[in-house]
């Protein structure tokens, strides 16, 4: 799974030296915050490339990922960007609620500067709901 081709930078014409991709292996759980599986992001759990390939529908799933910001990002605005989350999600950084988002087809971002620690481990948690009663 380490050789999965994906565009790591969303806008190559605007490359920044202080950009960090969080694509890759995340902790994952169905229904509760147990994190008993691993998933390859940016792939949905229903796909083979996610490493899970679970076709049963789940109303709630959880993602978790730790990361460390390099010293080069000190005193800079830190923005967390998601290409899409289907359908409603809540996001925490270091146990601080940072945003909620609704809409499975749209990207979104949030400023997490006030929540992160530099040169220390940071943890993102994402809780996702999709009840499938209103399929787009």
Residue 129 has pLDDT above 70, yes or no: yes
Query: Residue 1: what pLDDT?
Result: 46
Query: Residue 104: what pLDDT?
Result: 83
- How many domains does the chain contain in total? 1
* Three-class secondary structure of residue 92 per DSSP: strand
Query: Residue 18: what pLDDT?
Result: 75
The answer to the question of residue 134 being in a domain is: no
The answer to the question of residue 107 being in a domain is: yes
Cα torsion angle, 41, 43, 49, 50, sign: positive
The answer to the question of residue 53 being in a domain is: yes
Domain assignment of residue 80, given as a range: 22-129
The answer to the question of residue 16 being in a domain is: no
29-50 tens-digit pLDDT: 997 878 999 999 999 999 999 9
Please report, for the domain that includes residue 60, its CATH number: 2.60.120.260
Residue 117 has pLDDT above 50, yes or no: yes
The answer to the question of residue 62 being in a domain is: yes
The answer to the question of residue 8 being in a domain is: no
Query: Residue 2: what pLDDT?
Result: 52
The answer to the question of residue 10 being in a domain is: no
The answer to the question of residue 6 being in a domain is: no
pTM: 0.86
The strand pair at 88-93 and 79-82 is best described as unpaired
The strand pair at 96-102 and 60-68 is best described as unpaired
50-108 tens-digit pLDDT: 999 999 989 999 999 999 998 888 899 999 999 989 899 999 999 999 999 998 889 99
Check residues 16 and 76 and name the one with the higher pLDDT. 76
CB atoms within 10 A of CB 59: 12
């Amino acid at each position: 799974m380490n050789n999965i081709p994906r565009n790591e930078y969303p806008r190559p014409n605007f490359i920044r030296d202080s950009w960090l991709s969080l694509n890759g292996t995340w902790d994952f759980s169905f229904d509760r915050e147990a994190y008993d599986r691993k998933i390859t992001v940016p792939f949905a759990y229903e796909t083979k490339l996610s490493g899970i390939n679970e076709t049963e529908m789940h109303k709630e799933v959880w993602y978790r990922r730790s990361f460390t910001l390099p010293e080069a990002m000190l005193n800079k605005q830190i923005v967390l960007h998601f290409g899409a989350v289907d359908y409603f999600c809540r996001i925490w950084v270091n146990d601080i609620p940072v945003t909620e988002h609704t809409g499975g087809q749209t990207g979104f971002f949030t400023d997490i500067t006030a929540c992160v620690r530099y040169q220390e481990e940071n943890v993102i948690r994402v809780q996702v709901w999709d009840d499938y009663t209103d399929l787009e």
